């Protein structure tokens, strides 16, 4: 049994002041391993042991889930946003040895544009080159 706190994110939106901590119930079915804001802090992506990536729109009133991305057969260890000059791209890596690249185009429509599956073991971290 995974404790509910492992499926909820808590953070401050602005570290400069004494703002209250915001809490997001991600509705993941298992532990969250990665949470990343996009370059403009308008989207949040989370990766979990439930093999899913979830996308949330960020606004002053809170967070709204806009997508649930699948394509991994193991826990998603990390998610990473590309720089916006390349479009809205998100990479995810997993215990299954795959790296998935998702593109949002048009808004709220996500497509898996590439799967890299040449690793023989878990891919534990991912990052975009500048």
Give the residue-averaged pLDDT of 48-77.
93
Is residue 16 very low, low, confident or very high in pLDDT (cuts 50, 70, 90)? low
**Separation of alpha carbons 125 and 23, rounded Å:** 25
Q: What CA–CA distance (Å, rounded) separates 84 from 128?
A: 11
Q: Is the pLDDT of residue 128 over 70?
A: yes
Contacts 24+ apart (CB under 8 A), 82-89: 82/128, 83/39, 83/128, 83/130, 84/38, 84/39, 84/40, 88/38, 88/43, 89/113, 89/128
Q: For the chain, how many helices (H) and strands (E)?
A: 0, 10
Average of per-residue pLDDT values in the chain: 88
Query: What pLDDT is attached to residue 53?
Result: 97
Could you give the percent of the chain with pLDDT greater than 70? Answer: 83
What is this structure's pTM? 0.86
């Amino acid at each position: 049994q995974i404790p509910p706190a492992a499926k909820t994110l808590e953070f401050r939106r602005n570290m400069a002041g004494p703002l209250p901590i915001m809490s997001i119930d991600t509705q993941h079915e298992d532990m969250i391993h990665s949470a990343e804001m996009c370059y403009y802090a308008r989207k949040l992506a989370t990766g979990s042991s439930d093999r899913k990536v979830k996308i949330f729109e960020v606004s002053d009133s809170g967070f709204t889930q806009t997508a649930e991305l699948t394509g991994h057969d193991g826990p998603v260890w990390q998610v990473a946003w590309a720089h916006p000059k390349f479009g809205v791209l998100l990479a995810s890596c997993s215990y299954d040895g795959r790296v998935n690249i998702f593109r949002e185009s048009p808004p709220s429509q996500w497509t898996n544009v590439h799967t890299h599956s040449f690793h023989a073991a878990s891919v534990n971290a991912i990052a975009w080159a500048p």
